[in-house]
Structure 1
Amino acid sequence: MSDSPFVFSRGLQLTVYIDNRKGTLSSLSRFLGKHGVNIYGLTLADTQGHGYVRLIVDDTEKARQLVEDSGELVGAREVLLVRVENEPGQLGRILGALAERNLNIEYGYSSGGPGDEKGLVLVPSNIDEALAALADMGD
């Protein structure tokens, strides 16, 4: 990582609407993997009998087309991607910078393990303002 404790960028998240039953997530994951799509991050949620999986992948357009061609409903949304050093206080610094700009976080999730970096996916109320707030942190 650079001298900064985090790196951030604009990204695209896919949301795939799936049946809430055994094997559905496994099938989706295997299907994408079989076609060379790497999943970097995901989060799941369920509703009455259905669910959705939000995905960060290495090739968003390819994954979207594959899922659409398989007959599943898929959507895309712009997100804020952040790689941050895995140490206490980093998330608070990032969220504090966004709060100072009066930005709301609609939802977010993370990926990674106990290593040096952790990946965050955040959906702020305004992506451009969020990018500016994080850029100002480096000044």
Structure 2
Amino acid sequence: MRRRLAALALAVALGGPALAVQPDEILPDPALEARARTISAELRCMVCQNQSIDDSDAPLAKDLRVLVRQRLQAGDSDEGVRDYLVARYGQFVLLRPRLEWETIALWGTPAVLLVFGGVLAWSARRRARAMETEPLSEAEERELRRLTAEDA
């Protein structure tokens, strides 16, 4: 039983995300390195597109990690580093884009289209029900037969 638990613990420990940060990128100041890792985990690799630059081995991700560390060493705040990268690469560089008009439009359009489609379906069903007629009474059927017999 202990062997199974040890094997499971080892699998869990080794099964986590492999960080692509190279030893030559690591800053000597642990506080700056921790800030760099936090920022890097929030930035999208432009090559992989579904990974943070901290997890990606792509050369562009390495360049972005180095750039983040350079900006931090230059004295930029965490938000200043993010603002710099957004100004340079656009909102797409953020794994969680900021709530702005562009992102509201992007995420709100499907909901608006769904509501619009629902209104159209309701309107069409309402018109179809309005076009349904009641059956003719016996007097109306006799009158209809009389009128059609006259025309023939």
Bin of the TM-score, shorter chain as denominator length: under 0.3
Q: Which of these two proteins has the greater Rg computed from alpha carbons?
A: 2
Higher helix share: 2
Higher strand share: 1
Q: Normalising by the residue count of structure 1, what TM-score does the alignment of the two structures yield?
A: 0.26
Q: Normalising by the residue count of structure 2, what TM-score does the alignment of the two structures yield?
A: 0.25
